[in-house]
Structure 1
Amino acid sequence: MPTECIPYSETGYFSPLMCDYLAEKNTLKPFYHRFPKLENFEAQIKEKQQSSLTAISQRAILSNALVKQYENVNASKTTLKNIQKLALENTFTITTGHQLNLFTGPLYFLYKIISTINLTTTLQEKHPNHHFVPIYWMASEDHDFDEICFFNYKGKKIRWEREASGAVGELSTEGLAEVLEDFSKKIGISDNAKYLQSLFEDGYVKHNNLTDATRYIANELFKKYGLVIVDGNDKELKKLFIPFVENELFQQTAYKKVLETAEHLTKVNDSYKIQVNPREINLFYINNGIRERIIEHEGVFMVNNTSVRWNSEQIKAEVHAHPERFSPNALLRPLYQEIILPNLCYIGGGGELAYWLELKSYFETVNVTFPMLLLRNSAVVKTQKQSEKMGKLNISNRDLFLKKEDFIAKKVKELSKIEIDFTPQKEHLQQQFEDLYKLAEQTDKSFIGAVAAQEKKQLKGLNHLEKRLLTAQKRMLKDKVSRSTELRETLFPANSLQERKQNFSELYLEYGETLIPTLVKHLQPLSGEFLVLEL
C-alpha cells in the first residue's frame, strides 16, 4: 500500500496564508495561540482546565444534553462512554465541524472526522491520565440550502430539489426517497452498492429531519471510533451562551475586535484574503421556519425581512426566555463551540482556519481560551491499477498536482522527439546582446535603448516560436497525451482536488467496509503533509 507525502506548500492548492501558517512564519504568530505540535498540548490542557467555562456544572450540562440528543441513536458503547466522560474534569475534546451536506457531501468530510479521531488516539497515548473525545459539530443552524443540497457522483450532481428556508437542520426529509431512487440506479447492485442504498434510506427516508438523518449517517460510519456528534441547536446548551449573546447585542465586541484583526492581517501580507467580514451583530434569529439576521438601529432591534421588533429590555428578556432562538453566524459559532466544549484543538480546512485566525483577539477580550488550530488531512486516493498506468505513462505523483496546461506541456516535451525548450537559444541570444550593450557603452550610449528594444523583440519572437512548436507537437501527440490527461482527470476531477469534488460513495463502491479503517490507518493529523495513497 505505497504512499507519498508532499508538503502542502508544494501542491499549488493551498493559499499563501495557510502555507505561511504551516511554516510557522513569525508574522502570523500574533493570530494564533499555540501551534498544533504534540509537545504543545500539555500547556493547552492546563490552560483549559483552569478556565471557568470547563467547570463541573457546565460539563454536566453538556453531557446530559448529549444523552438526550442520543436517545434514539444506535450508538456504540465507546461513544456512550465518551458522552459520560465529558462530565469529568479530566476529559477534553478535539473538534471538527461540517455542514449537513447531502450524503456527507465532498470526500474531505471523512478526512476531517478521521483527523479528529486519530488526534484523540495520539493524545490518549501521550497523556494516559486524561480522556480525549472526538467531536463532530453539525452545522445544523446554517441556512444556505444551496450549498448542501447535492453531492457529486462520477462528475454529475445528485441533487435534492425543494424549496427551503430557515435552519437546514430543521428541514423535513421530504423528497429524498426520489433522490435515493435516482442514486440507486447509478450505483448498481453489488454488495457495496446495497450497503450505500441502505445507509441512504435508513438515514434520509426513515428520519424526519436533516439533523437526525445526518447524525444517523455520521454515527453509522464512525461509531466504532467513539465519535460524539453535537447538535448546537439545543436550548440547554444555548443557555450557556446567554452572557455572550448579550455582549454581542449590546457591546458588539466581535465586530470591533475582528475588524481590527482582519485589518492587521491584510497589512502583514496583502495576498492574505479575509475569509469572513464581521457584522455589527453576528447573530441570527430562528423561529417558525425562519433564520434571519438581527439588526440594531437607534436602540431598536429587529429581525431582517420580518416585522419582529424589540427594545433593549425586550430583547434581553427574549434571550433569557428563548436562548435557542438566537443563532451564531459563521464568525460567532467558533466562540459558541469553545464555550460549551472542553476543547483543545479545532480541525478544519484552509478556509475555516483562515477565519479562525481572525478571532484570537476577540477570544482574549471575552476571556475564552483560544484553541489550537490544525489543518485537516488531505489525500488523493488511487487504485493499484491507476498506479500501474501512471508508471507506464511516466507520471509521478507530483506531476498530478501540476495545473492542467503545465501538465500537458510537460508530457508533450517528454514525448516529443525534438527539443521544444528554447532556453539554450534564449541564453545565447542574451549573451550576444550583452556584447552589444558593451559596444554601445563604448561608442554611443544613446543606442542602449535601441539595443534593449531589439533584445526584447527577439526574445518575444523566440517565446512565440516555442509556443507554436509546442502547440504543433500537442496536435501530433494528441492521442498519447490524452491518455495521460484522462488519467489525471480521474484523480483531479474538474481540475480540482479529488477530495473537494468526489463523494465517498465512489470509493466505497471500490473498497467497501475496508475504506474507513484504511484511511484511519494512514491519515496522520500532525504530519503536516498531503498524502497520496494507493489502495
Structure 2
Amino acid sequence: MQIEAIHRSSGQPIAEHYMKQFERVSGLFEYNTSDSGVWQARAEWLDRGDYPHAGREELAAVLLRYHEAIGGDRAAAAGIEQLRSGEALAVVGGQQAGLLTGPLLVMYKAITIIQTARQAAEKLGRPVVPVFWIAGEDHDWDEVNHVHLLSSGAEVQRIRMVKEDERRTSVSRTPVSDSEWSAVLSEVDASLPDSEYKAEWMDKMRTAAAQSGTLSEMFARILSMLFGRYGLILVDADDPALRKLEAPWFERLAAGSQPLNEAFLQGQERVKSLGYPVQADVAANAANLFIFEGGERTLLFRDDDGTLVNRRGTVRLTMDELLARARREPESLSNNVMTRPLMQEYVFPVLATVLGHGEIAYWALLKQGFEHMGMKLPPIVPRVEVTLLEGAVHKYMRKFELSVDDVFDRFEERKNEWLKSRDTLGLEDKFAAVKAEFHTAYQPLIELIAGLNPGLRKLGDTNMTKIDEQIDYMLAKGLDAQKSQFDTALRQLERIRVSLAPHGKPQERVYNVLMVVNRYGDGWLHELAAARLPLDGRHLLVYL
C-alpha cells in the first residue's frame, strides 16, 4: 500500500489558516501544534491540575465498566489503568454513533487519534492514551440511521434503518431490535458483491449486532474490534455512569450559563471581526444545555425572567429546579455543541483534541468560554483526510490524465474536454454553421413578409425558433450516437467519479468501511494505523 500526502483546500478558511498560516488565527486558539514545544507546555499545564477536572479513580471505573460491556481489548484496559495512575494524558476526538460506524471518515478520525497519541508519547516520554468520545447523546436519528455502499452494479446504494418511533431522544437511548438489525444486514449482504472477505465480515457484523441493543453500542463494538489493539479507549457520552461523574460540572455549567454564553458570544464576535464566517450560531439567550423531558431531548434557553424553557414552551424550569436535576438526575442533562468540548475537558486530561476541518471552525468560538471556566482550549490536531484509490480506478485516471483535483473540482468539464477531443466529425461546429446559414437566409424573408403584414413578424420569429430547436434536437441525437462509440470509456469515467466523489462529495463522507473491507479485508486499515502519518492537515491518497 502506497501513501501520498497532497495539499487540498478544506473549504473552511479558519481551518486552512490554522493549519498553514497560524498567525492569522492566533487570537482564536491557545496553542500552535506546529511549535516544537507545544506538547511539553500543555503537559506541564495539565500536571499542575489547577483547573476543574473529574477524579481519575472515578473516571477509570466508568471507563472500565463500559469497556467490559462492549467486549473491549486488553490494550485499551491497560490504557485505562494508566489514566487511573495519574501518569497518562489523553488525546480525545469523537463522532456521532452512525449505523455500522457511518462514513469512512470515522475510521480516519480514530486513526488520527491513535497516531497523535503515539507521536505525542514519543515526544513526552510518558503514556498518552487515545480516546474516542462517542456522541451517543445526539438525537438526530436521520443523520445516523443509514450507510452508503457501492453495489456490485457500481451504483451508490443507501441502506437505512427504518423505525416507526423516531422521537427526538438520544441515539444511545433508541433501542434496536433483532429484526431491525437483521433487515439492515440482509440489505448490506445483498448489496455487497461476493468476495473472499464477505462471509467473514458479515459474520462479524451479525455477531456484533446480536450483542448490541443500540446503534451506539454496535458502533463501539466495531471500533473496538478494529482499533482496540492500539489501545483506543471508547466512551459513550450518554452513559449513565459517566453522567454521574459529570454531575458537578453540569451544575456549574447550568449555574453559570448566562456569563458562559456571553463568553461564547464574545468568541463569535471575534471570529466575525476577523472576517470569517461563523460555523455555529450562538443565540443570545442560549443555556447551551439539553434536557430529557418526556423521553425527548430538548434544548434549553433563558426566558426574560430567568426561567429555562425550550423553543416550544412545553418545558419550563427554574434555575433551582435545573440545578437539582444536575445533582440528582445528571443523566437527564446533556451538552450542546458549545459545552460538549468543556465537558470533554472536565472528564479527561486532554493533551490534544482531534477535529475535522468544520469542527476546527466552530472551536474557534470557544476560547473565551474555556477561559471563563478556568480552562485552556487544548491543542487541535486536524483529522487525517483520506481518499482510497483502487488499482483499476487509478489506471483509468492515468488513461484520461485526471488528477484527484480534477475529479473533485472539475470532473464534468474534464470529461467533456476528453469527449470533444475525440470528436473527429466536428458535429457541434457543423451544426452551428448550419444554424448560422439558416438565420442568414431566413431573417431577410421574415423582414420581407413583415413589410407586407406586421403581424407576420411574430409568427416568423416563432417559426425560426422552432426550426432552431429541431436543429439542436438533431445535434443532440448525433452527439448521443457519437458518445455510444465511447461506452467503455464513459463507464470507466463514471467508475472514477462514483469511486472518488459519489454524489459530488468526498468518498470518505459517503461510503461505509464495509464496502472496502469486503473487497480488501482490513489490512489497509492496520497499515494506516501502524504507519507514521503526517498530522499537518494534508490530504492522504492511499493506493490500494
Is contact 2:396-2:493 (8 Å) kept?
no
> 1:528 is matched with which residue?
537
**Change over 3 Å in CA distance of 1:222–1:418 after alignment to 2:** same
For the pair 1:311 / 2:313, whether they are aligned, the reply is no
Query: What residue in structure 2 maps to residue 231 of structure 1?
Result: 236
Partners of 1:399 and 1:533 in 2: how far apart? 17
Number of aligned pairs? 481
Deviation at 1:33, TM superposition (A): 1.0
Give SS of 2:25's match: helix
1:164 offset after TM fit, Å?
2.0
Aligned to 1:262: 268
Q: How does 1:14-93 map to 2 (within 5 A)?
A: 14-37=11-34, 39=36, 40-53=38-51, 58-93=55-90
Distance 2:3 2:319 in 1: 59
> Are 1:324 and 2:331 counterparts?
yes
Partners in 2 of 1:351 and 1:365 — Cα distance? 24
The match for 2:184 is 179
User: In structure 2, which of residues 494, 519, 532 is the aligned counterpart of residue 510 of structure 1?
Assistant: 519
Q: How far apart in 2 are the matches of 1:183 and 1:315?
A: 44
8 Å Cα contact 1:82/1:228 also seen in 2? yes
TM-score of the pair, normalised by structure 1 = 0.82
Aligned to 1:351, the other structure's residue is in SS state: helix
Give the TM-score normalised by structure 2.
0.81
Determine the C-alpha separation between the residues in 2 that align with 1:477 and 1:83. 61
- CA–CA distance in structure 2, aligned partners of residues 498 and 67 of structure 1: 35
Q: Is the 8 A contact 2:137 2:238 kept in 1?
A: yes
Output the aligned Cα RMSD.
Answer: 2.9
Residues 115-167 of structure 1: CA deviation (Å, up to 9, x unaligned): 11111111222222x11111110101111101000010121210000122211
* Closer/same/farther in 2, CA of residues 249 and 144 from structure 1, 3 Å limit: farther
CA distance in 2 between counterparts of 1:3 and 1:73 reads: 32
1:282 to 282, 285, 288: 288
Structure 1 gap segments, 5+ residues each = 420-468
The answer to whether structure 1 residue 495 and structure 2 residue 504 are counterparts is yes
> Which of residues 217, 223, 228 in structure 2 aligns to 1:218?
223
CA shift in 2, pair 1:136/1:414, >3 Å: farther
Structure 2 stretches lacking a partner, 5+ long: 151-155, 427-474
For 1:159, the aligned partner's letter is: R
Cα distance change on mapping 1:4 and 1:242 into 2, 3 Å: same
Specify the SS of the correspondent of 2:287: coil
Equivalence for 2:494: 486
Cα drift, residue 26 of structure 1: 2.3
User: In the alignment, is the contact (CA less than 8 A) between 2:272 and 2:278 conserved in 1?
Assistant: yes
**Which residue does 2:347 correspond to in 1?**
340
**2:9 paired with 1:3:** no
Give the SS at the match of 1:252.
helix
SS in 2 for 1:516: helix
1:374 corresponds to: 381
User: What code does the residue aligned with 1:152 have?
Assistant: H
Task: Please say which of residues 203-212 and 81-90 is displaced more in the overlay.
Answer: 203-212
The answer to whether the 8 A contact 2:396-2:496 is kept is: no
The alignment partner of 1:65 has SS state of helix
CA distance in 2, matches of 1:214, 1:360: 31
With over 3 angstroms needed to count, the CA separation of the structure-2 counterparts of 1:398 and 1:235, relative to structure 1, is closer
Cα separation, 1, equivalents of 2:308 and 2:409: 52
Q: Are residues 249 and 482 of structure 1, via their aligned partners in 2, closer, same or farther at CA, if it must alter by over 3 Å?
A: farther
Give the letter for the 2:502 counterpart.
P
Mapped partners of 1:533, 1:474: distance in 2 = 36
* Secondary structure, aligned partner of 1:528: coil
Counterparts in 2 of 1:288 and 1:62: CA distance versus 1, 3 Å: farther
Query: Which shifted more, 35-44 or 359-368?
Result: 35-44
- CA deviation map 1:475-530 (0-9, x unaligned): 96686573563143122111221101111111111110313112224571414311
CA distance in 1, matches of 2:21, 2:396: 38
Residues 246 and 2 (structure 1 numbering): CA distance in 2 closer, same or farther, change over 3 Å? closer
Residue 356 of structure 1: CA displacement? 0.8
The alpha-carbon deviation at position 317 of structure 1 amounts to 2.0
Contact 2:33 2:381 in 1 (8 A): yes
- Compute the displacement of 1:25 (Å): 4.1
Q: Which residue of 1 aligns with 2:173?
A: 170
Structure 2 vs 1, CA of residues 521 and 385 (structure 1 numbering), >3 Å: closer, same or farther? farther
Q: Secondary structure of the residue that 1:100 maps to in structure 2?
A: coil
Aligned to 2:113: 116
Q: Identify the residue that residue 153 of structure 1 maps to in structure 2.
A: 149
CA contact (8 A) 1:151 1:503 kept: yes
Change in CA separation of 1:191 and 1:363 when aligned onto 2, cut-off 3 Å: same
Amino acid across the alignment from 2:525: I
Q: Could you tell me which residue of structure 2 aligns to residue 433 of structure 1?
A: none
Amino acid at match of 1:164: E
Tell me how far 1:370 sits from its aligned partner: 1.1
Kindly indicate whether the alpha-carbon contact (under 8 Å) linking 1:2 and 1:534 is maintained by their aligned counterparts in 2: yes
